[in-house]
Chains A and B, each alone.
Chain A
Amino acid sequence: MPPTIVDKSRRNDRWAARLITAGGLFVIVAVIGILLLIAKVSLPLFYSPTADKLAAVPPEFASLLSAEPATAVQQVDLEEKGSVSARLLPDNRIELQRRLVERDILGTEKVSELKETLADPLPGAISAFRLGRNGQNLYAATANGWLLRWDISEQQARLADTVQAFKDQRRITALTTVMGEYSLAVGDEKGQITTWMPVRTPGAGEDKHLALIHTLPGFSTPVVRLLPSPRDKSLAAFDGQGTIRMVHMTSERLLLELKAGGPVVAAAFADRGRKLLVAGADGVSQAWELSIPHPETSLKTLFGKVWYEGYNKPEYVWQSSAATDDFEPKLSLVPLIFGTFKATLFAMLFAAPLALLGALYTSQFMSPGLKGKIKPAVEIMAAVPSVVVGFLAGLWLAPLMDHNLLALFMTLVLVPTLIMLAIFAWRPLAENTDFGRGMKGYEFIGLLPVVALGIWLAGQIAPPLEAAFFAGDLKQWLFSTLGVRYDQRNSIIIAIALGFAVIPIIFTIAEDALSNVPRNLTAASLALGASRWQTAWRVVLPSALPGVFSAVMIGFGRAVGETMIVLMATGNTPITSWSLFNGLRSLSANIAVEIPEAPIYGTLYRTLFLSAVLLFVLTFIINTAAELLRQRFRKKYGRY
């Protein structure tokens, strides 16, 4: 060979090596970078908010600071519905003045002027009061720790609540309503900030009474002022020295701490809550540009029980959106994680025994010729798109079971019984006849009609049984007798559909593991007189256990992340109930349902990315463990 050609091919080789290395590393880095990129999107949920001090109060907002009303009078403008004002009289009573405008269909206005002095006996001197911005409630607090609420939605003001908020009789120094007019924020002389809302208490009937819901990070000195954000359920709290704390009600997070440098006499939010303006006692005004993108998220709201507005106790709730703007987003991932595991668990309970025993049979007892056909068939089953399984589960199986629920339960009883009977009946035939001996390795074919017969029988027996024992409608009976609600798309459907989807995966991997156990082990066992079942159960299965276990784990991992089946075969209701007859919502289906409506880089969008990270991490851990097990297994038998 001429040296130039050798040189050339060597050069080519070097270049190729570099290129392939670079390409290979690129692919691997890119693939692994996925996790980092998703995590990067979800991380800002937990970043600390920031505030930039502006050089001066923007002139267009300056009027907001001067318009601060005298503390003894409060007025609320209800726009076309009139206005309400309240005034604290020197004799510790509140005078309420209302101008209510009612319109009938023809557009004629009826104006009624109401003026009254609230004469209810009070537990102490009023230290703060607040008119709700929708003109429905009037709140007051006393110097000895009582909270009062008047319902002023009717013609006559009614004292709806008298609650001793603080047993230590501390002075309540600041009151305000949180955006949405449902919760009341209370600041006191000890520097504590709490929120209260009407809750149905046990024993009090239909009436709701104020109860302590959230305790927010406060001060060590008295709270002098509370200012609700017009943007979300945040508050700005001020103490006497000019320290300002931005806190969020739902997440109970301290968002920001700002220093005004001296006592504050007036404060306001501007620019839809993006700017905070304060005026100091020294006459100097300051302004901050606030950047608080995700105030409502904390680890507690994502994973803990939270007492939301309108609920009677702390709960795990996922409800990302509602019809109104002042809605409190409920982004607890717990119901979704619960749904994911519920679906996976039921599916695995259904799939794992079927797949593993099936794999054991195929690898150990089936005749080799047939095995060559069954294995590819199962592999093809594994490739059936999940959307197909989901569609059949949602639109064929669910209505079918809705009509024949009892038949399903009968099947669970009848099919095993019939199989047992078949085994008994088979016994005399098994080894005494040529037919019996010839069926070795083909038993399951003989059992196919038995299974079909069981299902057919169940379908025949169920309707008369249902008529006889359950008044013709099992679902109605379940509801009226056991109080169990039956959803058409429920966890049984999921167990069957999701189980059906993971059976081929578990089957294939487990079958591989079982078949890879060296033949000389089985041969030795058989030669020593063990039966084929004893060999399979005591020799093959223990040897292949890591492989079998990894098959189950990989099936588990697949079920955890499956989207389309869960999306189509459950009602996607995010509830935490173990009932077999209820639907569920899984992490993956939740992403598919909600991400089209999630505004980019909003809290919901990032929370969905966070749930994707959770899914990624979860399946990655499961699969890695399974893979390590499998490698151990390979190493163990690699020498044969």
Chain B
Amino acid sequence: MKNYWKRGEPMVMVAGATLAMVLFMTLTMMAVILGNSLGYFWIKDLVQLKLKDGSAVLGQITGSESHALTDEARIQLKVGNRDLYAQDFRWVDEQEIAGREYPDHAYLLERMEHGNFFGYLQGLTKADGTAAAADSVTLAALLHEVQQGKQGLKSIRKQMSKLNMASERLRLKIQKLDYNGAEANSAKIAALTDQRAKLTEQFDQLNNELNQKISELNKATALFRDADGKEKELPLTEIVRFYQPNSMSVFAKSGIYLIKIKELLLDDPRESNTEGGLFPAIFGTVLMVLLMSLFSMPFGVIAAIYLREYAKEGKLVQLVRIAVNNLAGVPSIVYGVFGLGFFVYGIGGSIDKLFFSHQLPTPVFGTGGILWASLTLALLTVPVVIVATEESLASIPKGIREGSLALGATKFQTLTKVLLPMATPGIMTGLVLSMARAVGEVAPLMMVGVVKLAPTLPFDGTFPFFHMDRKFMHLGFHIYDVGFQSPNVEAAKPMVYVTTLLLLVIVIIATSLAIRFRNQMRRKYTTSHF
């Protein structure tokens, strides 16, 4: 085979190798994300290390490494108990370890604050001050009781927030009256102020009641000690969940795994977003994307129809088409800058001046919010919709148009009855692609309304239900914020990986859908050549 080289077979192999490298990188990325996120909810066993200096450490093994020069190995433990040790992780040299065991009665507590606690149960105190047996059954019973009590508090909190909202509305009304002329409206203002005072009184009453109940609940405590014997008394209200991982079956652990996934999808975040759920971020992302499609879809489709069906083909249209095509390639940050300058400060500022001048300088619309964010992203994705719609219209054979027109249909009838139904998969492709892009876009959102923690959802039960001026949370920004701006990045990493996986799954599903639509479309109209 002396012409193996001459015929360039090795070069084919080299080209194949580059593809192999690209695939390898992709697979590595997937493996890293899956490996780091799927394991997060699996409860690892607690190991207790006896060290040679006589102390003991209780924790979960999270990693190991060996030193290149000395071949000394060390393992990384997650020791939790942030309030006691100030650090979540600890490296332990292998040669320091005198013995390791997996005590059955070791507890893992998920807490409202300070991360997990690893330790042993010493004693339990009931709400009435009497001691109870220190075992997991009693703890479970007491915890259940306390959590039920906490559920009861919810209704009080709800009432309080309603009162608060009503009082705030009154405050704004008073402010407005004051702004329009304190003299003329003094009677009204006095009446409203009275009303507000009453509300405040009610609020204080409820608040007292709430505090009383909370302090009552807090009376039920559990006494834990860590591996070294340091004691820590925890009110049961602080505990979210507890397990004894070393005595749990695989089946039980799987159950917890599912519960945690449910928590991830449906609960609010805890511990400055590093634990708990992602619900507000998921909700914010979905709502923003839907709102965005509401803007970008009709405009994009109309523009495409104009370009393809109505505009006279010529230099100008060709130029416009190039311009629109290229707008899809303009950096997203530029759209963000535009959104900030035009929507937020320009339009938002004007709205504030016109309708909310009594509230200035506190901005209502003159600051980032979900409306501005979705408008900015709509602008960013309009070119995607235009290009996809145009392409699908262009791929419909001319004969179909001519046939329809020859039968006496007007252009508009041809469009709505023939062309649009045929182009639907293409339009859907554009829509889904634009949604996929919007879900993953972060840079422009940082300027026009995304925040790390939004106290309220943009959509809720209070009038007018949909609060377009509110700021919101977003999965992509969550990744950036928790991964790069949280004080304890190492402890937050697993959460970021989980968020990444979730975002990736959403994007991949959306894109696959779009690709499927498009392929359907192609198969329908392209005639095979050669």
Contact = CB atoms under 8 A, between A and B. Distances in A.
Given A31-B382, A447-B20, A365 B12 contact: yes
Interface in A29-47: 30-32, 34, 37-38, 41
Contact of A568 (B299, B329, B480, B511): B480
Candidate in B32, B302, B337 with the most chain A CB atoms within 10 angstroms: B337
Interface in A524-578: 531-534, 536-537, 554, 557-558, 560-564, 567-568
Q: Which 10 pairs show the lowest CB-CB distances between chains A and B?
A: A561-B331, A24-B306, A385-B440, A533-B8, A531-B7, A463-B68, A563-B443, A444-B16, A623-B326, A13-B410
Contact of B14 (A26, A419, A432, A451): A419
Contacts, number: 312
Contacts of A592: 333, 336, 443, 446-447
A27 B300 contact: yes
B412 A12 contact: yes
Given A383-B507, A563-B331, A360 B15 contact: yes
Contact of A380 (B310, B334, B479, B508): B508
Interface in A392-444: 392, 394-396, 415, 419, 422-423, 426-428, 430-432, 443-444
A392 B408 CA distance: 59
B470 to A, nearest CB: 18
7 contacts: A17-B411, A31-B383, A432-B1, A503-B22, A595-B340, A609-B341, A619-B326
A519 B529 contact: yes
A199 interface: no
A361 B16 contact: yes
Nearest to A563: B443
A568 B483 CA distance: 9
Contacts of B382: 27, 31
Contact of B305 (A24, A28, A520, A622): A24
A78 interface: no
B326 A627 contact: yes
Contacts of B29: 384, 389, 392, 500
B contact face: mostly helix, strand, loop, or mixed = helix
Interface in B242-300: 299-300
Nearest to A428: B1
A388 B504 contact: yes
B86 interface: no
Contacts of A379: 511, 515
A602 interface: no
Interface of A: 1, 9-10, 12-13, 16-17, 20-21, 23-28, 30-32, 34, 37-38, 41, 353-355, 357-358, 360-362, 365, 374, 376-381, 383-392, 394-396, 415, 419, 422-423, 426-428, 430-432, 443-445, 447-448, 450-452, 455, 463-464, 466-467, 472, 500, 503, 507, 518-520, 523, 531-534, 536-537, 554, 557-558, 560-564, 567-568, 588, 591-592, 595-596, 600, 608-609, 612, 615-616, 619-620, 622-624, 627-628, 631, 640
A388 B480 CA distance: 9
A619 B329 contact: yes
A444 B8 CA distance: 16
Contacts of A432: 1
Interface of B: 1, 4, 7-26, 29, 32-33, 68-69, 299-300, 302-303, 305-307, 309-311, 320, 322-327, 329-338, 340-342, 345, 379, 382-383, 386, 408, 410-413, 415, 433, 436-437, 439-443, 446-447, 476-477, 479-480, 483-484, 489, 493, 496, 500, 503-504, 507-508, 510-512, 515, 529-530
Contacts of B441: 385
Contacts of B19: 357-358, 361-362, 374, 444
A452 B24 CA distance: 8
Given A444-B19, A595-B447, 19 more contacts: A17-B412, A28-B307, A30-B379, A361-B12, A361-B18, A376-B512, A383-B511, A387-B503, A391-B480, A391-B496, A394-B483, A395-B493, A451-B20, A561-B333, A562-B331, A568-B484, A615-B331, A616-B330, A631-B322
Contacts of A361: 12, 15-16, 18-19
A383 B330 CA distance: 16
B302 A23 contact: yes
Contacts of B25: 500
